[in-house]
Structure 1
């Protein structure tokens, strides 16, 4: 491999203006551009972000090629699959014209669905890298019933379907992929079980620690939740655990959290729960900085950047031993085990009560340097 590799990067979602998968794709592309001689990014067509504009934002040594279906009216994973087929075709053409040292699939950051590698033939001169990817997090049935209630059946279907697809995809790719990068420990274990030759673990986040607000010392015990109101995010646990936290207040922010069902749960607790609705980024960070602790008892968040931002401010993050919340929060994570005996809500409340006594520095481990070092390691060929 050259001193600096020539990289072909697959990033279905890649938009530095947005969060979640698009932001992660852009972050990965930007970091790769700093360690590579040249980068060709294959991404989806975005009507409001021309390829030349995206190219400018990602780096001077980056070329962006868009492909795939233009319509957004089809189901998400159907559109993604059609993009994978189109991206594979583009990659075959590019590789017939130029030599690449590394092929890297970044987004979607899922460890269970097919990606373009399935439809490509590997060349002996190439290193193939998959990730950071996640998705192998599954809650025990008892926890699903508490959090999801009537949606627990849907969670069982998700577990069965993704595990079934993952088993096939891992069999197809383990001999091709040189390095698999997991977003969290659940996916690390999944890649190891899948017998991938080299498995690393790192988030796909580069957090702007310098512009985080300074944490204040709250006059009262305040727990905050910031996230969407979808059931698997675990807001139900945060609300119901308040019954065991009589001297605490809970502030809830995020789209979909101000629903009748959540308000009905809160009324059973009393007037110690406040619904703030959807907040902008600055207000959300200020909320973290003014809190005693953050609650994010999600069942399968792979790498929630909000947990990393709260930890970067120095706010403890109370979470379950599922997914990537604890990975993102690092030393500021207070982890509640889901597989042991005992009432989950009481265990969660007990964990919350420990947070005012934590004596740990803010966790600021999700840096550009750390992600770049992970990619340098991943791009290094290892003997099989």
Structure 2
């Protein structure tokens, strides 16, 4: 019997980055060749409807008066939970009507709430790649300010994942669970049946058309992200300030993005020579941004992976990042320098030292070549699709329904 997939992609949009980017590429690229119905929000209808065909269908659902909410809205996580509850009867109807054989929860990829489609009896249930099992390092709590207390609470919630009934029931039903990084795998694997949790990064990129690059003088350092504590834009301020004193004129820094800390960072940057802070740019313009840069500084304290890391590597741009979480998954094969996690002063010094190393022409050229090779070998959407196909072929038949799963020891 041929497979028919129902993909739960709350976030799915070819025009956007982050989770909508991930949802779209799993629907279009990773599941290519399968008959699949993508269950997503009406918010994405205009972007997705023209792409229907060749085995790809869409079903759109939103709660009344809430279809216009952007995925970055401050209440979006709450809406995601409400959406999952409200969409369940509709999803069950699709499963019966369309003779769905496999349900795959794709986005959101949060480890603590895998949706509710696992409760639909019959089809196999697949989950992931799930992320979010990571927590920020305590040594860098200063970058969170008063918000660190919330991070402590969130860390305790993640440590108590084994008490989360939604996670336990989803794992009991799942024939395959994909964990996007080592931290998430470590939280899920002990709770699942042996061998059901496999590691796979949730994101990827098209094969790079770029060629290796040469370092320029001054070295142009790019920071792209949301201006919020977990992205640690203040860390880059410290690096830029240190290098403006130690190596004046050797570096030019540009920070791009939006978020609650933008005004604060922009004001602080006025006192740092060679640092420019810009607002948000359209997703379609990101290629021009990378073309103007030499190095990406990825300062994130808590990230499942990092789409910007892959985008930079695919442009032949070396990356300097903390040696943890998503960056530690992506960069070891080459194309970047990893800075050990430690106190703020040590991390700022580590970033500065790594950037100074990349001013050497031979070091930079080797890193640029390695960046392109890393992407081609490990992080294309075609390679994700091939590995996923092998995993689902090897996965066991459908697991018991949610009702019988609850009776399991």
- Asked if structure 1 preserves the Cα contact closer than 8 Å seen for 2:114 and 2:127, the reply is no
Which residue pairs with 1:331 in the alignment?
334
Which residue pairs with 1:119 in the alignment?
119
TM-score of the aligned structures, taking structure 2 as reference length? 0.80
Structure 2 residue 132 is the aligned partner of structure 1 residue 135:
yes
RMSD, matched Cα: 3.0
- Asked if structure 1 preserves the Cα contact closer than 8 Å seen for 2:210 and 2:316, the reply is no
Which residue pairs with 2:404 in the alignment?
none
SS in 1 for 2:185: helix
Q: Which moved more, 1:230-239 or 1:186-195?
A: 186-195
Instruction: For residue 263 of structure 1, report the CA deviation from its aligned partner.
Output: 3.7
- Asked if structure 2 preserves the Cα contact closer than 8 Å seen for 1:105 and 1:131, the reply is yes
Instruction: For residue 294 of structure 1, report the CA deviation from its aligned partner.
Output: 0.9
In 2, Cα distance between the equivalents of 1:187 and 1:58?
33
Instruction: For residue 312 of structure 1, report the CA deviation from its aligned partner.
Output: 0.9
CA offset digits 1:336-369 (Å, max 9, x no partner) = 2226998222223223333342414223233231
The partner residue of 2:156 within 145, 155, 160 is: 160
Instruction: For residue 107 of structure 1, report the CA deviation from its aligned partner.
Output: 0.7
Instruction: For residue 283 of structure 1, report the CA deviation from its aligned partner.
Output: 5.1
In 2, Cα distance between the equivalents of 1:17 and 1:341?
36
Which residue pairs with 1:285 in the alignment?
287
Aligned residues, how many?
Answer: 373
Which residue pairs with 1:96 in the alignment?
96
- Asked if structure 1 preserves the Cα contact closer than 8 Å seen for 2:139 and 2:342, the reply is no
CA offset digits 1:128-174 (Å, max 9, x no partner) = 211122111112222122x2123222222332345445741332222
Query: Highest relative contact order (Cα 8 Å, sep 6+), 1 or 2?
Result: 2
Instruction: For residue 260 of structure 1, report the CA deviation from its aligned partner.
Output: 4.1
Q: How does 1:1-384 map to 2 (within 5 A)?
A: 2=1, 4-36=2-34, 38-46=35-43, 49=45, 54-72=48-66, 75-121=75-121, 123=122, 126-145=123-142, 147-164=143-160, 167-168=163-164, 169-196=166-193, 197-210=195-208, 215=213, 217-245=215-243, 246-247=246-247, 248-256=251-259, 259-267=262-270, 270-281=272-283, 284-329=286-331, 331-338=334-341, 343-356=346-359, 357-358=363-364, 359-360=366-367, 361=369, 362=372, 363-364=374-375, 365-382=378-395
SS in 1 for 2:172: coil
SS in 2 for 1:271: coil
Instruction: For residue 11 of structure 1, report the CA deviation from its aligned partner.
Output: 1.0
- Asked if structure 2 preserves the Cα contact closer than 8 Å seen for 1:226 and 1:284, the reply is no
- Asked if structure 2 preserves the Cα contact closer than 8 Å seen for 1:55 and 1:62, the reply is no
1:257/1:96 CA distance change after superposition, 3 Å: closer
